[in-house]
Amino acid sequence: MLNNLGPEEKKKLIPVFILTDGNFHRDRINFFNKQTVMHKLFRDVVEGAYNTKISYYCIPSKRVFTTTVATETSRKVKRDLLGTVRSFKTSPGRLHRGISSPSINYLLRADKHIQKLALRIAMSSEGYFSITRRENGTIKGYLGLACAHPALVKQWKRLANLHKIDFNLHMDRDNWSGIHGLRTTNSESIRRFYEIGGFAEGLAVMNGNFKGIEKNALLKSFVKFNREEKYSTLSNKMFWNRVLRGVSGGNAVSEYELHPQVRAWSKELA
């Protein structure tokens, strides 16, 4: 995913990790995620950009892995990137205290391959994908990105639009900003995300009916199924068998237990 990137290109991707699943705390960078795939990508970016070594550890009670960047390197990161991003603070208590809002507008001027990687990293950190079936038998995909910051979420929307991924604002009254993030059910937009590379390889669905299945396998199955199958006439059992055909037989991520319903569907395919 990050092969053949130079140090300056990797620097442009560091803010994406911090603004989605990270923070600055007492001159240290912390990155939090439950899947080691994302920590390996974060380490690759920081180590490649600053020629340093960092490590990660696990918080057992929450099963959350944490990568912490040492003070000396984190100060370099902050010094190099703060002028571009303006702020890494996205909490609601700080929005109205004269502190600049975070910005990813620099990505709108970046090379296309950097834009695509930034989208993929953001979606891998805070994005989701799932499939449901409508009452009339047709298939429906949900692709979304969690981001409650009012300014930042609109910038992510603009960046996605540059690559023909048409997101809508997904509102949530219970959230501090009234915004949950971005979401689309448009099949062409979902296909476009798949075509630019989709999620990070090896990333698993963490909850719901597809828990334990690799996100890209599920995404691929939807794109292929939506393009080739006449799914409206299929029985419900046959429908899910066809959907899971692309994600069964070795594509499930072994470190996570499959949801019982998915295990049942998978057995039917054997």
- Of the candidates 237, 11, 53, 48, the residue with the CA atom closest to the CA atom of residue 137: 237
Determine whether 40 is exposed, middle or buried from the number of CB atoms within 10 Å of its CB (0-12, 13-18, 19+). middle
- H-helix or E-strand spanning residue 28: strand 28-33
Query: Do 176 and 228 contact (CB within 8 A), yes or no?
Result: no
**Start-to-end C-alpha separation, the chain:** 32
pTM above 0.95, yes or no: no
pLDDT at 254: 40
pLDDT tens digits for range 75-111:
888 888 887 887 776 665 544 455 568 899 999 999 9
- Of the candidates 201, 4, 223, 194, the residue with the CA atom closest to the CA atom of residue 113: 4
**Which has more confidence, 28 or 182?**
182
- Selected from 3.30.420.40, 3.40.50.300, 3.40.1350.10, 3.10.28.10, the CATH number assigned to the domain covering 114-269 reads 3.10.28.10
CA atoms within a 13 Å half-sphere pointing along the CA-CB vector of 252: 18
pLDDT at 152: 93
Tell me what percent of the residues of the chain surpass a pLDDT of 90. 46
Same fold, 7-111 and 114-269: yes
DSSP SS3 for 29: strand
Residue spans of the domains in the chain: they are 7-111, 114-269
Q: Residue 242 — very low, low, confident or very high, per pLDDT cuts 50/70/90?
A: low
Q: Residue 251 — very low, low, confident or very high, per pLDDT cuts 50/70/90?
A: very low
CA atoms within a 13 Å half-sphere pointing along the CA-CB vector of 196: 23
Query: Do 126 and 22 contact (CB within 8 A), yes or no?
Result: no
Length of the chain: 270
Stretch 37-54: mean pLDDT, rounded? Answer: 93
**Which has more confidence, 17 or 81?**
17
Query: What's the CATH code, domain 7-111?
Result: 3.10.28.10
